[in-house]
Amino acid sequence: MNTVTGPPGPPTPLRIVVADDQASVREGLVVLLGLLPDIEVVASAANGEEALEIVASQRPDAILLDLHMPVLDGIETTRRLSERHPEVAVVVLTTYADDSSILAALQAGARSYLTKDADRAEIAQALRGAAAGLSVLDPAVHATLLAAACRPEKPAGDRLPEKLPDGLTQREAEILSMIARGMTNPDIAAELFVSTHTVKSHINRIFAKTGSADRPAAIRYARDHDLG
């Protein structure tokens, strides 16, 4: 007796979560990705804690994650997701393309790293690739990592102390030191192989952490704390 079978059904869509603290960005990504036939956006989150809760309940295939979010940032969220849900692929989508952010995200367990210049097709490709176990880095991120790998190591005397004041990160302390040496934002961007937008974002956080209203105040802070 012959068995008649119909054509195969459509492939199961990739189930993803979108996490970004900016509502306009988050909602835009949900709409854009939701239009693709092979992707289903099952939920969205405004911070890292929400992302962890949603992943635990929805069990998606992948999560598209911003790095700088309130409550719990993207790096720590990635680390916890990798520990608790290693089967969920983490794809970072952020404005930050500096080597310290990229390395921190990859070391925390992110499979792919894109900047927000990526279009819908590139984001979808990265999500599919990451869910299949592949790593996808956009060209700007790849170039930054290569430049960092080729950059000569600083002499021991120029290294910053490991313990930094007021919650400054190593990258923030490095940029603060550059400001104290009189370097402009474009100078710093060229030295670190990042965009001026990234430099401005770091400087805003430096000013907030050090209580500096302007560059002269930041320079005084740097000198008072042996960072200049």
> Which of 190, 178, 187 minimizes the C-alpha distance to 215?
178
Average pLDDT score, the chain? 86
pLDDT digits (tens, 9 = 90+) for 164-200: 888 888 888 989 988 888 888 888 888 887 778 888 8
- Tell me the domain boundaries of the chain: 14-146, 160-224
> Which of 15, 11, 20, 53 minimizes the C-alpha distance to 33?
15
pLDDT of residue 156: 42
Both structure tokens of 50: 């929400």
Alpha carbons 91 and 33: distance in angstroms, whole number? 14
Both structure tokens of 51: 């992302």
3-class SS at 191? helix
Both structure tokens of 21: 């603290």
H or E element at residue 18: strand 14-19
pLDDT of residue 73: 87
pLDDT digits (tens, 9 = 90+) for 55-87: 999 999 999 999 888 888 898 999 999 999 999
pLDDT of residue 224: 87
Both structure tokens of 206: 């430096």
pLDDT of residue 148: 67
pLDDT of residue 132: 93
pLDDT of residue 226: 84
Phi, psi of 133 (to 5 degrees): 95, 10
Alpha carbons 30 and 23: distance in angstroms, whole number? 10
pLDDT of residue 180: 87
pLDDT digits (tens, 9 = 90+) for 94-129: 887 777 788 888 888 999 999 888 899 999 999 999
Helix 99-108 and helix 139-150: axis angle, to 10°? 100
pLDDT of residue 43: 97
CATH number belonging to domain 160-224: 1.10.10.10
pLDDT digits (tens, 9 = 90+) for 136-152: 888 878 777 777 666 65
Both structure tokens of 106: 């990859």
Residue 158 has pLDDT above 60, yes or no: no
Better-predicted residue by pLDDT, 153 or 96? 96
pLDDT of residue 154: 53
Q: Any idea what DSSP says for residue 94?
A: E
> Which of 180, 185, 208 minimizes the C-alpha distance to 195?
185
pLDDT of residue 3: 54
CATH number belonging to domain 14-146: 3.40.50.2300
Residue 89 has pLDDT above 90, yes or no: yes
Beta bridge mates, 43: 17
Phi, psi of 77 (to 5 degrees): -60, -45
Residue 14 has pLDDT above 60, yes or no: yes
Instruction: Say if 14-146 and 160-224 have the same CATH topology.
Output: no
CB of 53 closer than 8 Å to CB of 81: no
Alpha carbons 117 and 140: distance in angstroms, whole number? 10
